[in-house]
Amino acid sequence: MSARKKLKLFGDPTYPGNGYPPRPGEDRPGLSPFGRLAMGQNLGTSSVLIYDAKRDVSQEAPTDMIGIEGDDLDAWQLAVTLHPPRVIPLPFDCVEQRLDQQNLTGEQTNSEITTGHFPGTHDRVRWPPLEAEIEFGVGGVNTKVVVDYINGVSFGVIASFLRVRALVSQSRRDGDIYGTSAAYRLAAHVGPGFVEGHVQRTVFVGNIDQEKESDVFDVPKFGKVAFLSGCRVHHRSSPVVAVGWIRFFQSPDGSNPVGDFFVSSYESRVEVPNGGLYFSIFNMSGHEMKLSAIFELAL
């Protein structure tokens, strides 16, 4: 007979909706809800996103940065932190040929990268609009929301299921908004607690001529407040205040409007009206403008 210690199966009765049975040797009453929820799971790691500016599709990192799935009765307030992004200064041709792309190192933040030409190019580094897809929920209910990475951010969700993955969902089709083709290292972690920070989602609508209207776009999930942001298309031109209308519609073809709001980029914020699940921007700035709407998310 084997001398190894035998683990006994859980012999007490279990009832539907009362959680998973305890693991062998687990002191379940002595653990916090977060301890039970997150035991042995991926609470934080980094992933390398191989970004190709020539691809006009959403590009995702191959691995999740956070992955938690536990007992619904242990749903808890989870504080998620997206760490400042880093770029790996290697020529993109070399990155594409590597079989160990997830093991690339030498990453640098925005304050560490030099102002010289990025390796393999004749231009300085241009950071793409990096994002994170957050999937979370409790029980049979879950949703996905995309948030801006910016230069790092923290926010909170209540969930028993959480998955976080890095991506870039907007490209040249959304205007002059793309980045340097390179390997980007993105990292995130999760812990228990409350966070006062807020997250946002920027939707780039493209280059819009004076007194012209953009296409109709989806309001981001959990979008609560909208701000207008923009600049002149020619980067050497003097700055101009972005002025225009943010219009909200019930239908994806831009029919059935529910509200038109006159805004400027330095003072106006717009509460998203109920039923207004689509929007467009009408440019009144006096110049062709690169425009976007920044949505504050209710997270």
pLDDT digits (tens, 9 = 90+) for 151-196: 999 999 999 999 999 999 998 877 778 899 999 999 999 999 988 8
Asked if 64 and 164 touch (Cβ cutoff 8 Å), the reply is yes
Determine which of 72-81, 126-135, 260-269 has the lowest per-residue pLDDT on average. 260-269
Q: Average of pLDDT values for 2-13?
A: 55
Q: Write down the pLDDT at residue 10.
A: 54
Q: Give the tens place of pLDDT for each residue, 10-63.
A: 556 655 555 566 666 566 666 788 888 888 889 999 999 999 999 988 999 999
- Residue 245 pLDDT > 90, yes or no? yes
Q: Cβ–Cβ contacts within 10 Å for residue 159, how many?
A: 25
- Residue 5 pLDDT > 60, yes or no? no
Q: Average of pLDDT values for 100-128?
A: 90
Q: Write down the pLDDT at residue 173.
A: 77
**Percentage of the chain modeled with pLDDT above 90:** 64
CATH of domain 199-299: 2.60.120
Phi, psi values for residue 72, rounded to 5°: -60, -30
- Residue 204 pLDDT > 70, yes or no? yes
Determine which of 78-87, 122-131, 185-194, 258-267 has the lowest per-residue pLDDT on average. 258-267
The model's confidence at residue 1, banded by pLDDT at 50, 70 and 90, is very low
Show the beta-strand stretches assigned E in the chain: 44-51, 59-60, 66-69, 76-82, 86-88, 131-138, 141-148, 153-159, 161-168, 182-192, 200-208, 217-218, 223-232, 243-249, 257-264, 270-271, 278-283, 289-297
Q: Write down the pLDDT at residue 267.
A: 67
Q: Is 257 left (phi over 0), alpha (psi -120 to 50) or beta?
A: beta
Question: How many Cα atoms are found within 13 Å in the side-chain-facing hemisphere of 222?
Answer: 18
Mean pLDDT of the chain: 88
- Residue 257 pLDDT > 60, yes or no? yes
State pTM to two decimals: 0.86
